[in-house]
């Protein structure tokens, strides 16, 4: 059994919503696998995201900012056909076994509690758009949960209200492409891209993501 990590890390646990109702489960899984691979390539998590049974996934990130940014990209990669619920946990993680990898500890259970919080949101009409939650382990003084969850709720509400075209614009811009490149890919004018950035709140999401990538602890 490995020793407990001396420092808190950020665990992300999630699962797909509605994937079992898809007429083409193989296509959904392939898209899911590509999204996970892309996030791993972009963020280089301490423990790469990996897909388990029942469309669940988990991984460990070095910072809360990178974990939050990664959860947005995963969701955008799957919408609008499939959505995803995601729990972010702050705390120490213990590795019980390497092959297959099995994790435990306060950070892992905090992420599981966050998933349960999202499931609770789904039962409330006013909060059904919220797909991400954050919980810090009781014995780990992490970033303030109320502040982080308020930001996650607002972000998820904006994303849930976006059209398929706006989701594509946001995904392209977060992927590092310029407005002209996104316009060419989608077959629309650059001015239409600019209008969506202003009118649909994409500019705020992009600015928030830049702050997160700048290094939230």
Q: What is the pLDDT of residues 98-127, one digit of tens each?
A: 877 778 799 999 999 999 999 999 999 999
Is the Cβ–Cβ distance between 56 and 13 less than 8 Å?
A: yes
Q: What is the DSSP string of 30-80?
A: HHHHHHHHHHHHHH--SEEEEE-GGGEEEEEES-HHHHHHHHHHHHHHHTT
- 95 membership: H or E segment, kind and range: strand 94-98
pLDDT in tens, 41-59: 999 999 999 999 888 999 9
Confirm whether pTM is higher than 0.85: yes
Is the bond preceding 80 in cis, omega lying within 30 degrees of 0?
yes
Q: Measured between alpha carbons, how far is residue 38 from residues 42, 48, 54, 117, 210 in Å?
A: 6, 11, 21, 27, 18
Using alpha carbons, select from 168, 216, 162, 213 the residue that is nearest to residue 188: 168
The number of residues in the chain equals: 217
Rounded Cα gap, residues 64 and 89, in angstroms: 9
Give the separation between CA 146 and CA 131, rounded to whole angstroms: 16
Read off the pLDDT of residues 133-146 as tens digits, 9 standing for 90 and up: 999 998 777 889 99
């Amino acid at each position: 059994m490995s020793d407990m990590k001396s420092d808190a890390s950020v665990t992300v646990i999630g699962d797909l919503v509605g994937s079992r109702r898809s007429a083409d489960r193989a296509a959904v899984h392939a898209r899911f696998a590509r999204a996970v691979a892309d996030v791993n390539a972009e963020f280089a998590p301490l423990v790469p995201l990996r897909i388990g049974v029942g469309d669940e996934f988990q991984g460990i990130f070095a910072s809360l900012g990178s974990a939050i940014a990664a959860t947005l990209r995963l969701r955008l990669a799957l919408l609008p056909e499939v959505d995803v619920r995601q729990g972010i946990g702050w705390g120490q993680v213990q590795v019980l076994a390497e092959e297959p990898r099995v994790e435990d500890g306060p950070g892992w259970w905090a992420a599981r509690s966050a998933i349960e919080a999202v499931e609770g949101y789904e039962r409330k009409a006013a909060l059904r758009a919220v797909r991400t939650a954050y919980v810090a382990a009781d014995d780990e003084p992490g970033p303030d949960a109320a502040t982080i969850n308020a930001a996650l709720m607002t972000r998820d509400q904006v994303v849930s209200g976006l059209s398929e075209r706006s989701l594509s614009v946001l995904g392209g811009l977060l992927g590092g492409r310029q407005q002209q490149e996104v316009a060419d890919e989608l077959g629309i004018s650059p001015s239409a891209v600019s209008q969506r950035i202003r009118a649909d709140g994409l500019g705020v999401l992009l600015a928030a993501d830049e702050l997160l990538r700048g290094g939230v602890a």
